Each structure stands twice: as structure tokens, then as C-alpha cells.
Structure 1
Amino acid sequence: MIEEVADLRIQPGQQQAFEAAIHKGVTTVIANAKGFQGYSVSRSAETPERYLLRIQWATLEDHTVGFRESELFPKWRAIVGPFFTAPPAVEHFALVEKPAQ
């Protein structure tokens, strides 16, 4: 499993609309991509225009090739892209350890 972590910066005062858009974009577009396994969204407590979007993919290629090079990617960006003040910073992480709960 690979986790995509996207650091998103949006326009001030657009939090409510952005949160609705990101939910719509993930559930109606990204969720249809091969290898999609789940997601979470967090808003910064100190900087309310900053969000972290974490998407779990089966493989790195499911995101970088399967999704990014598909017809789904422009649909996703059309929904959330208008809110961005800068291009998202995106990195991919592999799970090293998950403590038992």
C-alpha cells in the first residue's frame, strides 16, 4: 500500500465550499480509480487555508500512471482546482510500521 499525501493551499474563506468539493471529487471521481483504497482529509488548526489530503493506493503506479494519466484526473482537477492558490505539493509514502491498538 502507498499513501499519497497532498499539501493543499486554498483561497481564504473558501473552507466550507472546498470541503464539499473535495468530498465530491474523491467520492465521485477518485473512488472509481483502479487501486484506490481510501482517503482522509485534515484541515490545519493554525492555517485554515491549508489541508492535507491522504489517499491510499494499492501501488504507486495506480496513482502516478493509472489515475494521473486517465480521464479521471482532469475531472478531479476541475472540481477542486479552482480553490487552489498554488500547485499541490504531493509525495508518496510506504508504511514502515503500524503499532497495534
Structure 2
Amino acid sequence: MILEHADLRIDPARAADFEAAITRAASTVIALSKGFQGYKVNRSIESPGRYILTIYWDTLEDHMVGFRQSPAFAEWRAIVGPFFAQPPVVEHLELVSKS
């Protein structure tokens, strides 16, 4: 399993609208993608307007090719992209240890 970690920055004044939009986009667009295993969105306590989106994929290719190179990616960005104050920083992680 691959973990996609996206650091998202938005205008804090638009937080309620963003939270509704990202929940809708993740559950109706990303969730239909091959290899999708689940997601979560966390809001920073110390940094208003900062969110961490975590998506669980079967493989890196499921995210980078299957989703990012599909029409679903444009649909996703149309829903959440207008909220971004700067481009998201995205990294992929793999599990090393777990308790």
C-alpha cells in the first residue's frame, strides 16, 4: 500500500466551504479510482488554512497514472483547486514500521 500525503494551503476564511468541497470530491471522484483504499483529511490546529490530505492507494501507479492521468483528476481539481492558496505539496510514503 502507498500513502499519498498532500499538504494543502487555503484561505482560512473559506475553510467551511473547502471542507465540504474536499469531502465531496474525495468521496465522489477519487473514491471511484482503481486502487483507492481510503482517505482522511486533517486540519492543522496551529496553522489556520493548512490541511493534510492522506489517500491510501494499492500502488504508486494507481495514483500517478490511473488517477492523475485520467479525466477524474481534472474533475477533482475543478472542485478543490479554486481553494488552493498555493500549489499542494504531494509526497508518497510506504510503511516501514507499525505497532
Shared fold, TM over 0.5: yes
Counterpart CA distance in 2 for 1:79 and 1:91 is 21
Give me the CA root mean square deviation.
Answer: 0.5
Matched residues in 1 for 2:25 and 2:9: separation? 16
Residue 11 (structure 1) aligns with: 11
The residue type equivalent to 2:17 in the other structure is A
Kindly indicate whether residue 97 of structure 2 is the aligned counterpart of residue 83 of structure 1: no
Residue equivalent to 1:62:
62
Cα distance, 1:11 vs structure 2: 1.4
For the pair 1:23 / 2:58, whether they are aligned, the reply is no
Q: Which runs of 5+ in 1 are unaligned?
A: none
Letter in 2 for 1:96: V
Q: Distance in 1 between matches of 2:12 and 2:3?
A: 27
Which letter does structure 1 place at the counterpart of 2:39? Answer: Y
Question: How many percent of aligned residue pairs carry the same amino acid?
Answer: 63
TM-score under structure 1 length normalisation = 0.96
Unaligned stretches of 5+ residues in structure 2: none
Q: How many angstroms does 1:59 deviate by?
A: 0.1
The separation in 1 between residues aligned to 2:34 and 2:13, in whole angstroms, is 34
Which amino acid in the other structure matches residue 41 of structure 2? Answer: V
Q: How many residues align?
A: 99
Q: CA deviation at 1:12?
A: 2.6
Point out 4+ residue stretches in structure 1 off by more than 6 angstroms: none
1:96 corresponds in structure 2 to 96
- SS in structure 1 of the partner of residue 21 of structure 2: helix
For 1:86, what is the secondary structure of its paired residue? coil
Q: CA deviation at 1:48?
A: 1.6
Q: What's the offset of the Cα at 1:97?
A: 1.2
Q: What secondary structure, in the 3-state scheme, does the structure 2 residue paired with 1:47 have?
A: coil
